[in-house]
Amino acid sequence: MTTADGTTSTTNTTGTTSTQGTTSPTSATGTPAPRMPARQVTALIVLLASQFMMAADFSVLNVALPEVGTALGFSTGALQWITTTFALCAAGCTLVLGRVGDHLGRRRVFTVGMAVLAVSSLVGGVAESATTLLVARTLQGLATAAVTPAALALLTTAFTEPSLRTRALGLNSVMMSSGFSVGAVLGGFLTDVFSWRWAFFINIPVALAAILVVPLVVDESRAERRARIDLPGAVLVTLGLFTGIYGVTRVGEEGFDLVAGVALLAAAVLLGAFWAVESRTADALVPVRVLRKPDLAFGNLAALFIFGGETALIFFTGLYVQDVLGLSSLVAGLVLLGIGLGQIIAGTVGPRLLQRVPPRTLLGLSLFLQGAFMLPVLWATADSRWLIPLIATQFVNAFFSMTAALSFMVIATSSVGSDLQGMATGMATQSQQTGIAIGIPLISAVFAGVVGSGTVTAAEELSGIRTAVGVAGGCQVAAGLLLWRALRSRTLS
């Protein structure tokens, strides 16, 4: 296969791409992968820590929302904007800022993004009004949109040996996925022991450490050809994603009304215009030839189900533990440790699985099993003894969500050359962020359809949770089967 940067490559049995003339000790000879030098290990630790913090920022305030609302005067209806504002910016701007990293330098964009994170976290931590807090969350979302694809592109360009790259991507997937569940645990702990403000302050030392260390251990990385930035494409895709995510969020909150319909229609028009512009632009933000790659298309579609379903499961687990069982927010966070543990274990063994199972096969199978292990919630009861089977099934669910995420990331980043790594990682990250942003609103719409409006009893809420999570699991099962069939039947490039 000829990659975008003109080099010739071959695809091994794991689906990763290696340059001809370079031999992977693991994939080619079965011998252990080469050891990482100390500088690479340090770079890996810092980049993974940043990815974990970016992911945790999405969920760290979820369990603290009531306290934040009381302290800063948010109305009950406005509380969701603390999460939605972050998600809109993180999902809407990721692809654009990933491409900016290709042009200006990924390390530079990473460092600037970390600086924005430190400043916005300080602003959020000292906020005394709802407006100030929402400004801080907006800046945190933009920082996430800059840092996440830049860090991932730095990983894929720093670890060029296939087995080391797969290992690094596996650990990255652990940090990204477990960050959502551990963020909820961390948020519950900080809120109960200290204050919700520490959910912001905890970012500052991590951001400062990254700013100081990354220039010392990570080489600058950028595209070899410095083309102009596709401004029309950037505006269209960003506005299209903003309006689309807003429309989906609106459906989850208010049902399908005129505002939601107009937003979704506008999103379809804007994204259609984006496709038309990209097909006629020499230096496109995302070349159409890349958009037409079936492996990238199917992989990024799978990410919507992987991350949307897992985020919704975390959200409804919190509701179940606190509202149905009447336990504390800290207990709700601790229950989610089962998800975090499953993801960590899967991230450790996932690269070994990918040496034996092609990522296309593992992706469909893992998504199917991720959904299958959400379905036991259909039999949940209001008895706290059900926590044990809940934790057990969520552990298995989390294991397969991680192997699915790792498979998707290998597919998404191994099909383009180094010049387009920022674009590829931007697309992959944007698919993750979009899935996270729309997962809760979509499944919440199902929940609201069951419980209706007004005062809801614990029994009614339990019925809504069963149905909502059951629908999410069923969609993942169906998507896993369809993806497995589609990926098997195509020769992907």
Provide DSSP, 56-84. Answer: HHHHTTGGGHHHHHHHHT--TTTTHHHHH
Tell me if 210 sits within 8 A of 117, measured CB to CB: no
pLDDT of residue 32: 53
pLDDT at 363 over 80: yes
Tell me what the mean pLDDT of segment 19-47 comes to.
Answer: 56
Quick one: CA dihedral 48, 50, 54, 60, positive or negative? positive
Higher pLDDT, 217 or 131: 131
Distance in angstroms (rounded) separating the CA atoms of residues 200 and 286: 34
Distance in angstroms (rounded) separating the CA atoms of residues 30 and 35: 15
Q: What are phi and psi of 475, to 5 degrees?
A: -65, -40
Tell me what the mean pLDDT of segment 166-176 comes to.
Answer: 70
Tell me what the mean pLDDT of segment 212-233 comes to.
Answer: 72
Distance in angstroms (rounded) separating the CA atoms of residues 460 and 141: 34
Tell me what the mean pLDDT of segment 301-327 comes to.
Answer: 83
pLDDT at 344 over 90: no
Tell me what the mean pLDDT of segment 333-346 comes to.
Answer: 78
The pairing of beta strand 17-19 with beta strand 9-11: antiparallel
pLDDT band at 415 (very low <50, low <70, confident <90, very high): low
Tell me what the mean pLDDT of segment 302-311 comes to.
Answer: 85
Residue with token string 């494409």: 233
Q: What is the mean pLDDT of the chain?
A: 76
Q: What are phi and psi of 357, to 5 degrees?
A: -120, 125
pLDDT at 109 over 50: yes
Distance in angstroms (rounded) separating the CA atoms of residues 412 and 156: 11
- Cβ count within 10 A of residue 142: 21
Residue with token string 């306290």: 67
pLDDT at 210 over 60: yes
Tell me what the mean pLDDT of segment 63-88 comes to.
Answer: 71
Distance in angstroms (rounded) separating the CA atoms of residues 347 and 407: 11
Quick one: CA dihedral 65, 67, 71, 73, positive or negative? positive
Percent above pLDDT 70 for the chain: 75
Lowest mean pLDDT among 130-144, 298-312, 442-456: 442-456
C-alpha of 192 from chain center: 27
C-alpha of 209 from chain center: 23
pTM of the model: 0.70
Burial class (CB in 10 A: 0-12, 13-18, 19+), 311: buried
DSSP assignment string, 238-249 = HHHHHHHHHHHH
Tell me what the mean pLDDT of segment 26-49 comes to.
Answer: 63
